[in-house]
Amino acid sequence: MKRNILCIGAGYVGGPTMAMIARQCPDRRVTVVDINEARIRAWNSDALPIYEPGLDEVVKTCRGRNLFFTTEIGRAIAEADIIFVSVNTPTKTFGAGAGAAADLQYWEKTARLIVEHATADKIVVEKSTLPVRTAAAMSRILHAGPSAVHFEVLSNPEFLAEGTAMADLARPDRVLIGGAETPSGQAAVAELVSLYAAWVPRERILTTNVWSSELSKLAANAFLAQRISSINALSALCEATEANVTEVARAIGMDARIGPRFLQAGVGFGGSCFKKDILNLVYLCETYGLTEVADYWRQVVHINDYQQKRFVAAMVRAMFNTVADKRIAVLGFAFKADTGDTRESPAIRIVRLLADEHARVVVSDPRALDNARRDLADLGDRVAFDADPYAAAIQADAVAVLTDWREYLSLDFGRIYRGMRHPSFLFDGRNFLDHRALFDLGFNVQAIGRTPLSHLDTET
Ligand code: UDX
Ligand code: UDX
């Protein structure tokens, strides 16, 4: 058995994944390294650097037993049998492919570090989402030097979603492992299968060739995002025709071939993966000259951008075509509930568009305020922050709910309404509040893909 497991990159993917392996495989020694010392310090403290329900408990149980966080990358590489690479692969912001291709510089630096410190054969596992055929490049870098050490590169993408990471890791729909169709490739695949088989039923562990595995990760995220853009595109049509997008989603979702999940219309998808991975897919298609295929997937991102612009335009229109100097309370800044993560959050774009209209925006969120402050730092005093949603809404003209936090369902909206300027508007960007009850309290309610509930119409 390959006992020593190492993960390079202690982020949203690496941290929880390794914590789960340590918990499920007490006979393996799991080490997690990162170039960011503050992050490693946080992993070794009581205040972990990321919030995931259930993560604290697993880390507390395993840390110091068979789970270790360290910055001693060289030594950790030398000691490891299996190395997971989970460093970030953001969208390139410079040079060829800027705005679309994956920036592979961290990933390549990591490959070079592995070569420098490895003294015995190792299995290297791509956990980061990477363009198809990256494993070949990685293998070339790993074998470029004079050393006789052999590296077997596997692809093992992670499908966890933030907020449910520990549950997703404990009971994954599937674990995907791609390896070379050579004896050493297949032996490495068998090693990784045996690691996961400690807790994942064997029939859920899928083995493929490397390229299928790499592409499946991009394809899965593209399909999920495409469902969201499809329902969001229809939400615009619902608003124009007085159909109700929630009813339409329910009706189509009951078709077993379509299924009910990922059909929630809203202000669009955020998160570190969907946009990045689709753009990466688009870039790959273009690289292979598949212009029509690239255009098809690019449209998924266009609709997502359009949805946010459309939401702000509808707000301005409802509020008598001006939000200048009006106070707007934004409730929810995280890209979805149960996470403090704000990467690519629709709220970033929406707050910026409102600030462009000279609104006075106050942002509230139960977990994401620190990130929100960083994301909007350049707006200066054009945006304020308040952890208390009631305080944020005082004297506001409108409340815009942008994250579907469960606690927002039990807010005392009567109290919020009484503290606001009237007429008061409520924009439900996640379509999850009780609109009729809010309307009865006095709010003019506008959601996505539904007919607005307005007291103003009835008066005119
Ligand atoms: C990242 C990618 O976003 C995702 O596409 C991929 O599937 C997995 O890796 P995530 O874990 O969310 O996902 O990224 P992030 O939280 O940014 O963590 C990456 C970590 O790698 C950071 O802590 C960073 O400090 C570390 N890192 C980066 C290194 O240790 N070495 C490097 O050279 C670069
Ligand atoms: C996603 C994938 O689900 C996961 O498998 C992959 O490993 C990483 O990317 P994540 O980004 O954590 O996970 O969140 P997810 O739950 O997929 O939600 C992404 C975004 O879509 C959120 O902004 C969410 O609010 C939005 N969404 C989701 C909708 O707008 N409607 C839906 O019906 C579902």
| pLDDT tens track for 221-242 | 999 999 999 999 999 999 999 9
At residue 460, the pLDDT reads 46
CA of 396 to the centre of ligand 1 (A): 39
At residue 457, the pLDDT reads 67
Question: In this structure, what are the phi and psi dihedrals at residue 179, rounded to the nearest 5 degrees?
Answer: -145, 165
CA of 260 to the centre of ligand 2 (A): 14
Task: Give the DSSP H or E segment for 246.
Answer: helix 245-253
CA of 308 to the centre of ligand 2 (A): 16
* Spatial separation of the C-alpha atoms in residues 229 and 138, rounded to whole Å: 34
Least confident of 142-146, 297-301, 339-343: 142-146
| pLDDT tens track for 259-295 | 999 999 999 999 999 999 999 999 999 999 999 999 9
Active-site pick, 7, 25, 238, 273? 273
Which residue has the least CA distance to atom 9 on ligand 1?
88
CA of 188 to the centre of ligand 2 (A): 31
Evaluate if residue 459 carries a pLDDT over 60. Answer: no
Ligand in closest contact with the CA of 347: 2
| pLDDT tens track for 196-223 | 999 999 999 999 999 999 999 999 999 9
Ligand in closest contact with the CA of 176: 2
At residue 131, the pLDDT reads 77
In this prediction, residues 162-188 reach a mean pLDDT of: 96
At residue 458, the pLDDT reads 56
Pocket-testing residue among 8, 18, 35, 87, ligand 1, by greatest number of atoms within 8 A of Cβ: 87
- Assess contact for 411 and 420: CB atoms under 8 A: no
pLDDT cut 70: percent of the chain above it:
99
CB of 88 closer than 6 A to ligand 1? yes
Q: For residue 384, what are its two tokens?
A: 């304020």
At residue 382, the pLDDT reads 95
| pLDDT tens track for 77-95 | 999 999 999 998 888 889 8
In this prediction, residues 449-456 reach a mean pLDDT of: 96
Based on C-alpha coordinates, what's the Rg of the chain? 24
Q: How many helices (H) and strands (E) does the chain have?
A: 18, 14
3-state secondary structure of 172: coil
Evaluate if residue 6 carries a pLDDT over 60. Answer: yes
Percentages (nearest 5) of helix, strand, coil residues in the chain: 45, 15, 40
- Assess contact for 387 and 369: CB atoms under 8 A: yes
Is 238 known to be catalytic? Answer: no
- Report CA 6 to chain centroid distance, whole Å: 24
Which residue has the least CA distance to atom 25 on ligand 1?
36
* Spatial separation of the C-alpha atoms in residues 249 and 235, rounded to whole Å: 10
More reliable by pLDDT, 51 or 123: 123
Evaluate if residue 397 carries a pLDDT over 50. Answer: yes
CA of 454 to the centre of ligand 1 (A): 46
At residue 351, the pLDDT reads 98
Share the mean pLDDT of the chain: 95
Give the type of residue at 440: D
Ligand in closest contact with the CA of 40: 1
Q: Which residues line ligand 2 (CB under 6 A)?
A: 158-162, 221, 224, 228, 262-264, 266, 269-271, 273-274, 335-336
In this prediction, residues 345-353 reach a mean pLDDT of: 98
**CB atoms closer than 10 angstroms to residue 417:** 17
| pLDDT tens track for 94-135 | 988 888 888 888 889 999 999 999 999 999 999 988 777 788
- Assess contact for 111 and 142: CB atoms under 8 A: yes
CB of 39 closer than 6 A to ligand 1? yes
**Of the candidates 425, 450, 208, the residue with the CA atom closest to the CA atom of residue 322:** 425
More reliable by pLDDT, 258 or 95: 258
